[in-house]
Amino acid sequence: QITLEESGPTLVKPTQTLTVTCTFSGFSLTTSGVGVGWIRQPPGKALEWLALVYWNGEVQYSPSLKSRLTITKDTSKNQVVLIMTNMDPMDIATYYCARHTPSNYGAPLDYWGPGTLVTVSS
Amino acid sequence: EIVLTQSPATLSSSPGERATLSCRASQSVGSYLAWYQQKPGQAPRLLIYDTSNRATGIPARFGGSGSGTDFTLTISSLEPEDFAVYYCLQRNNWPITFGQGTRLEIK
């Protein structure tokens, strides 16, 4: 059974750094073709893909946020961490992590965590 | 960046009817187009990937078609639990992008 769960602060102050952790089970980030991605969704708005890390260490970032994002994996803990710097009220959103496989391996973003709502306010 | 435009923004239908949702890409995405369903307060659920492959456990009433820049999600006979927001996603090019969503509401 594949599960993912996001954890992190629910409230950060403007200009602070957000660190959210995705803890997963039922698959391994050492398996070829496996990745974990982060997606966010402001209240009442559409989904926005942020970043992704693959089993082989390859990382991809949203160009519009690349300067503020860092994604890392810890395969021993089955965790993926997303760091977003210089938080702003525009970053208020539910942050999701999801398992992902490349097009020649399988389905995209097929298992999702329940999400964690992050508010930015002083 | 590939822009995905979904239409209509809102679709009003009744249970038992057929629903057709559209997703148009600003440039070709080959066959690498997926569809997600999202209900209030829940994470998105993958329905269809690579244009027409149903994800695990997805009922046969959900079908996908298209290629290149024009794609369609068809729900053959709407069930009450199908009323939700639907998003398309492309993974042919980085960055991965989502459409803005179609809200399927009960008429």
Query: In the prediction, which pLDDT does A104 show?
Result: 79
Query: In the prediction, which pLDDT does A103 show?
Result: 80
pLDDT digits (tens, 9 = 90+) for B16-29: 999 999 999 999 99
Share of chain B above pLDDT 90, in %: 100
How many CA atoms within 13 Å lie on the side-chain side of A94?
19
pLDDT digits (tens, 9 = 90+) for A33-46: 899 999 999 999 99
- Per CB-CB distance under 8 Å, the chain A contacts of B93 are none
Q: Do A109 and B34 touch (CB under 8 A)?
A: yes
User: And the tokens for A2?
Assistant: 């594949």
Among A38, A99, A104, A109, the strongest candidate for a mutation testing the B interface, having the largest count of B CBs within 10 A, is A109
Q: Where are the alpha helices (DSSP H) in chain B?
A: none
Give yes or no for A38 touching B (CB within 8 A): no
Closest CB to A47 among B44, B53, B55:
B44
Using CA atoms, how far apart are residues A119 and A116, in angstroms rounded to an integer? 10
Residue A113, CA distances (Å) to A4, A5, B43 in order: 5, 5, 7
What is the pLDDT averaged over residues A87-95? 98
Query: In the prediction, which pLDDT does B38 show?
Result: 98
Confidence at A106, pLDDT banded by 50, 70, 90: confident
Tell me the pLDDT of chain B averaged across its residues. Answer: 97
Q: Do B95 and A60 touch (CB under 8 A)?
A: yes
Query: In the prediction, which pLDDT does B35 show?
Result: 98
- Per CB-CB distance under 8 Å, the chain B contacts of A104 are none
Among B35, B91, B102, B103, the strongest candidate for a mutation testing the A interface, having the largest count of A CBs within 10 A, is B91
User: And the tokens for B34?
Assistant: 């997926």
Confidence at B100, pLDDT banded by 50, 70, 90: very high
pLDDT digits (tens, 9 = 90+) for B42-78: 999 999 999 999 999 999 999 999 999 999 999 999 9
